[in-house]
Amino acid sequence: MLILGAYRRLQCLPKGGDYKRERKSCGRQLRGAQPCRAGFRQPADEAQTQGSRPESEGEHAEHQETHQTDSEEDDFELSTVCHRPESMDKLQEQTKFTKKELQVLYRGFKNECPSGVVNEENFKNIYSQFFPQGDSSMYAHFLFEAFDTNKNGSVSFEDFVFGLSIILRGTINDRLNWAFNLYDLNKDGCITKEEMLDIMTSIYDMMGKYTYPTMQDDAPRDHVESFFQKMDRNKDGVVTVDEFIESCKKDENIMQSMQLFDNVI
């Protein structure tokens, strides 16, 4: 899935070491990762570093071969790309990612979505690869809706990194607001039991029936009842965003899960 793949790609980034060497290592770990194109350029300081010492004959030949391959890839991508993202500098201003992180994310995104955008069907297919033991289609639908902020039936690289920036780098309130928006299926500002049951059912379907311990058929409904007992403070049958955020902040397990991505890099 795009999010899980992005998490893994970000883990490949160096912590103060040689970015170029780590990028090659990352490419070997992540299947088919392609170089960053369509407006994203190699950082100037990296290019200067490459020219700081004379190349050997072997390195020169390798460089020429790589340059030729990159040119061919450029031509191919320019002929197939349907959507060009904002400039890297602009995306850096609008998100909490660095240029190098955006390059890594873009290579992964273009690897899965060569046209520059992903529709819901393709999003579901990508997501299903990470949950082969279950049916992830309904949860992927809800997740796609959360990323498709323009409601145009497609998720661009900008849509993807804006959402990912909140999930990985946002404040606790930012992340909880994003989660609330995911659960608020009709976007009316509150979560009903029916909406939460749809979400929980989709999660249990995604996990599959071969889990241990075995999940009971009524597990999603039990989960919903527990959720509302904790969060529906005024007992009016719906959970507002304020109730949701307040209750989550008081739940130690939820807060720990919110912090899982704090040290991605």
**pLDDT tens for the chain, residues 1 to 265:** 455 445 444 555 544 444 444 444 444 443 343 333 333 433 344 444 444 455 555 555 555 555 555 444 444 443 445 566 778 899 999 999 999 999 999 999 989 888 889 999 999 999 899 888 899 999 999 999 999 999 999 999 999 999 999 999 999 999 999 999 999 999 999 999 999 999 999 998 998 866 656 667 788 999 999 999 999 999 999 999 999 999 999 998 888 887 765 554 4
Task: Give the CA distances from residue 59 to residues 53, 56, 67, 259, in Å, rounded to whole numbers and listed in that order.
Answer: 11, 5, 12, 44
Which are the contacts of 257, defined by CB distance < 8 A and separation ≥ 6?
none
3-class SS of residue 19: helix
